[in-house]
Every structure is written in structure tokens, then in C-alpha cells.
Amino acid sequence: MTTATAAPAVRPAEQHALRRAFDLAATDGLVLGPNPRVGCVLLAPDGATLGEGFHRGAGTPHAEAVALENARRAVGPDALRGATAVVTLEPCAHTGRTGPCAQALRDAGIARVVYAQADPNPVATGGAALLRHAGVDVVGDVQPARGRALNPTWTAAMELGRPVVTWKVATTLDGRTAASDGTSRWITSAAARRDAHRLRAAADTVLVGSGTVAADDPSLTVRDADLGGPQPARAVMGLRDLPQASRLAAPGPDGAATVHLRTRDPRAALADLWDHDRRHVLLEGGATLAAAFWRAGMIDEVVAYVAPVLLGAGPAAVGDLGITSITGAVRLDVADVTVLQPSPDDLDLPDGARSGAAAPTVRLTLRPRKES
């Protein structure tokens, strides 16, 4: 277990380098997949910067390796002996697609390591202990909150040992996701649908049930060109085969096939996705799938788009949770409330389309309450 060292042990030059390391880590914006964003700055004994680097995602060199290579090219390998490495995350002790960063720092002659956040990944942790055993001065866990803020979903997934699950749902004010005849386009506004694509772009997997595929034939793609980045994996959970004519039976825009999780057990589905390096699942299925995840205790965040619309009948947002008394109700804490206003283009739509598209929608971000 890593022993935290008090922040005053960090020198002024190291504090400045740590701020720079955090800026470097965020250079590429949101990076999806199994690896966190990490930045590293190497300092000479007099505080001068020898090299710096950041991680660009799974399969690419880690931040420490990039910084070491840049420093070797700039000042030569001898200048690294006695240097200090300042890193946003504890250097890893794991050999995967790349070698252990802690070993690389030790072999380069680094004499001191300062890192902001202890590594919560049980597979990769242990770098601080390896370095200390080699005689390196290690100052650890000096800004854990900022480290977590840099990689909130990755950190939570490491702690949970499964992908983080965000349930996205769009409802009327009375909690309906469609009218009694099954029609649902569109309950919420165009602004809400644009925002939902932002949610998809921030997840590495979008998951629905086989019933939703049969009823709605979704594509589950990010179709907002302004968001850029890779498409999330498309996943279907359930025992039924995908209809051959469905959008999800065909390859996605990136050529990837839909992942079919042939199970009704949320735990088994998430374990399968975890084994495929998926760390953030956006759950977009219907009431039955949502209820299954709630009953399993596998929902970590809710993003609800609530439209100023009443239907009075139609499918509910979530199925039976087995709750028979108000004392058993699922309680959630509100993390954010945002009113999504229409854009000028939405206001220029024809009268028949404008009523729904141009209406404001309330986006609620909620998290299940943790009982004390």
C-alpha cells in the first residue's frame, strides 16, 4: 500500500512542474479506453526542465517514457541521473503493451519521484514501492483530488472493478418514454438530442437491449460532426439474435461490428465489456433493461432529459424494481440541473416540427444516494 506524504514536502519547482504535468495530461482532451490521461515533467537538480511528455491512449508510450525519450534527445541520458520526475499518476509497475514506468525511471537514474495520485488500478499499482526499494526518494499522493478530477470515470471504474454505467433516459414530465401507440419522436427537443450525442461521445460503449433493437432499430452512433473522436462501441444485451435488416447488424461507421452480449445478467455483461477494455457504458435501453441494472445495483449516474410534455399513458421510464413501499424507494442526489434552450435554427423550423424541437428541455444529472 502506498504511504501518502504531506504536500509541504513538495518543493516550489516541483509544484510548478506538477501544474505543467496536469496541463500536458489534458492536451488531447478526453481520451477513452482502458488507460488514464497522464502527464510527466522531468527536472534537473536546479529545477530546470529536462523533458516532458503525456500519454495519448492505450498502446502508445506512457507519459514517463515519452518524457525520458524527449529528455535524452534534448540533453543526453547522463543529465537524467539525479533528476526528479513529476507525474500526475503513480508510475506503473505493470508490463502490458508497454513496460513498467517505475522501472524505466529507475533505470534512467531518476533520484526523486513526485506524483499527484496513487494508482487505483490493482494490476498496475506498486510503482512507488518498486522505486523506494531501489533507493529513489518518493513523495506520493500529493494532489489526489486533482488527479481524480483529471480521470474521474477511469478512477471510478478502477475502484469498482467494472465499467462505470451512466443511464440516459428521455421522458415526459409524467415519466413516459413514448405514447401509448409506441410513438416517441420526438418527446424532447433538438437541443436535448444534440446533448445526448455529446454523452455518447464521452462513453466508450453504448448499450441497449435486444427489445429496443426490435422496436426502434437504433444506430447508436455519434452523428454530431463537431464532436469528432472515435465512435463508441455499440453493444446489445439479450439472448435474441439481431434482426438481419437492423442497423446494428451492419458494421458501424468505423467498420466495427456490434458487440452482442448474450446474457440477461448485468454483472455478466459488464464483466465481458471490462475484459474488452471498456470502462464507461452509456445505457440507452428501455424500461426492462434499465430495471435490470437498477435491481443489480449497477447504475452509477443518471442523465435524464425531461420535456415539458404530458402523455398520461404509455411506457414508463423504468420497469418493476420490486419496490412495494415508499421506504424502499431509490433515492438520488442531484448533481446538476441545466435547461437546454433551442438554437436559432430550431426556432426557424416549420410549425409542425417546431413545437417539440424548439421547446426547452431540462437535463438532470443525478447519482444514486450512498447510504451512510
Same domain, 30 and 88: yes
DSSP 129-192: HHHHHTT-EEE--SSHHHHHHHSHHHHHHHHHTS-EEEEEEEE-TTSBSS-TTS--TTSS-HHH
Q: With 80 as the cut, is the pLDDT of residue 327 above it?
A: yes
Q: Is residue 171 part of a domain?
A: yes
Please report, for the domain that includes residue 20, its CATH number: 3.40.140.10
**Domain's final residue, options 150, 183, 204:** 150
Active site residue 371: no
Which residues, in sequence order, are bridge partners of residue 208?
Answer: 236
Look up the domain containing 51 and give its range: 7-150
Of residues 95 and 341, the one with the higher pLDDT is 341
Residue range 182-222, pLDDT digits in tens: 888 888 988 999 999 999 999 999 999 999 999 899 999 99
Mean pLDDT of the chain: 91
Same domain, 170 and 317: yes
Same domain, 215 and 104: no
Q: Is residue 276 part of a domain?
A: yes
Same domain, 186 and 68: no
Same domain, 250 and 310: yes
Same domain, 347 and 223: yes
Same domain, 113 and 90: yes
Q: 3-state DSSP call for residue 260?
A: strand
Same domain, 183 and 247: yes
Distance CA 185, CA 198 (A): 19
Counting the structural domains of the chain, the total is: 2
Where residue 358 falls among pLDDT bands split at 50, 70, 90?
Answer: low
Q: With 70 as the cut, is the pLDDT of residue 355 above it?
A: no
Same domain, 198 and 304: yes
| Nearest-5° Cα angle at 97, 24 to 252 | 85
> Residue 194: what residue type?
R
Residue range 46-65, pLDDT digits in tens: 999 999 999 998 888 999 99
Same domain, 263 and 303: yes
Q: Is residue 262 part of a domain?
A: yes
Distance CA 29, CA 34 (A): 15
Q: Is residue 2 part of a domain?
A: no
Q: Is residue 15 part of a domain?
A: yes
pLDDT confidence of residue 154: 95
pTM for the whole structure? 0.90
Q: Is residue 156 part of a domain?
A: no
Same domain, 82 and 127: yes
Same domain, 261 and 181: yes
Q: Is residue 157 part of a domain?
A: no
Q: Residue 264 to residues 59, 190, 235, 306, 315: CA-CA distances in angstroms?
A: 32, 32, 13, 28, 20
Alpha-carbon dihedral 321, 325, 327, 332, rounded to 10 degrees: 30
Distance CA 265, CA 285 (A): 14
Burial of 32 (0-12, 13-18, 19+ CB in 10 A): buried
Residue 18 CB contacts under 8 Å (≥ 6 apart), including other chains: 10, 41, 86, 88, 114, 116, 142, 143
Residue of 14, 52, 64, 284 with catalytic role = 64
Measured between its terminal Cα atoms, the distance across the chain in Å is 26
Q: With 50 as the cut, is the pLDDT of residue 83 above it?
A: yes
Please report, for the domain that includes residue 336, its CATH number: 3.40.430.10
In sequence order, which ranges of 304-350 are alpha helices (DSSP H)?
Answer: 344-347
Q: Are strands 361-368 and 301-306 parallel, antiparallel or unpaired?
A: antiparallel
Asked if residue 186 has a cis previous peptide bond (ω within 30° of 0), the answer is: yes
Where residue 4 falls among pLDDT bands split at 50, 70, 90?
Answer: very low
**Domain's final residue, options 91, 115, 150:** 150
Distance CA 282, CA 163 (A): 10
How much is the CA Rg of the chain, to the nearest whole Å? 24
Q: With 50 as the cut, is the pLDDT of residue 1 above it?
A: no
**Domain's final residue, options 97, 124, 150:** 150
Q: Is residue 235 part of a domain?
A: yes
Q: With 50 as the cut, is the pLDDT of residue 120 above it?
A: yes
